[in-house]
């Protein structure tokens, strides 16, 4: 612990696009609660107090993010689908994979995570999306795209040949580009 009267040398910031959220206030609140430990407190009561302070700080941070206008992933993905005219289930799955790889920088995405992203758009009923067979769509896009344009997906080198690792091929990216031009 730093001696009384010293100033903090660092800061904790979360940069979301062009928005900068200062997290120091929220972490300080958790530290202040930690410092109020009394000699009568037990390990369990102190641990509980720290857990509550941490949860409140996390909730305050998330609220600051929400009020900053930073879009959640569901609405961002929905707007992208709408603006590019992507509507067919297989195209939505292909776009979802590209979104997870490109925007969220995911290197491994289970089909259930793609379903979750699609559900978060609010464009389809959750019950409807649960019936989508994402693995079947992935399998078909690994075999080849419509019109003999080559496969839309492939397994990256030095990765397991599992659906969670697939990436778009040049033909897959071209297909999404064509859809956005033909809307």
Which tens digit of pLDDT belongs to each residue from 12-41?
666 655 556 666 655 555 555 555 666 666
Q: What's this model's pTM, rounded to 2 decimal places?
A: 0.64
How buried is residue 54: exposed, middle or buried, by Cβ count under 10 Å (0-12/13-18/19+)? Answer: middle
CATH architecture of 73-181: Orthogonal Bundle (1.10)
Which of 86, 84, 94 has its CA nearest to residue 144?
94
pLDDT in tens, 82-120: 988 899 999 999 999 999 988 888 888 899 999 999 999
CA dist 151 and 165 (Å) reads 15
| Domains of the chain by residue range | 13-67, 73-181
CA dist 12 and 26 (Å) reads 10
């Amino acid at each position: 612990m730093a001696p009384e009267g010293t100033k903090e040398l660092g800061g904790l910031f979360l940069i979301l696009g062009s928005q900068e959220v200062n997290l120091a206030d929220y972490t300080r609140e958790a530290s202040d609660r930690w410092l109020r430990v009394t000699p009568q407190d037990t390990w369990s009561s102190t641990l509980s107090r720290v857990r509550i302070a941490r949860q409140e700080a996390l909730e305050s941070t998330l609220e600051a993010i929400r009020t900053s206008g930073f879009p959640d992933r569901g609405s961002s993905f929905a707007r992208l689908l709408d603006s590019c005219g992507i509507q067919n289930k297989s195209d939505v799955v292909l776009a979802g994979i590209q979104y997870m790889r490109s925007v969220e920088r995911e290197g491994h995405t289970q089909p259930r995570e793609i379903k979750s992203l699609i559900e978060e758009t609010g464009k389809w009923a959750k019950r409807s999306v649960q019936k989508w067979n994402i693995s079947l769509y992935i399998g078909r896009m690994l075999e080849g795209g419509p019109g003999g344009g080559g496969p839309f997906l492939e397994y990256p080198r030095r990765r397991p040949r599992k659906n969670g690792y697939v990436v778009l091929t040049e033909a897959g990216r071209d297909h999404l580009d064509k859809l956005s031009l033909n809307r």
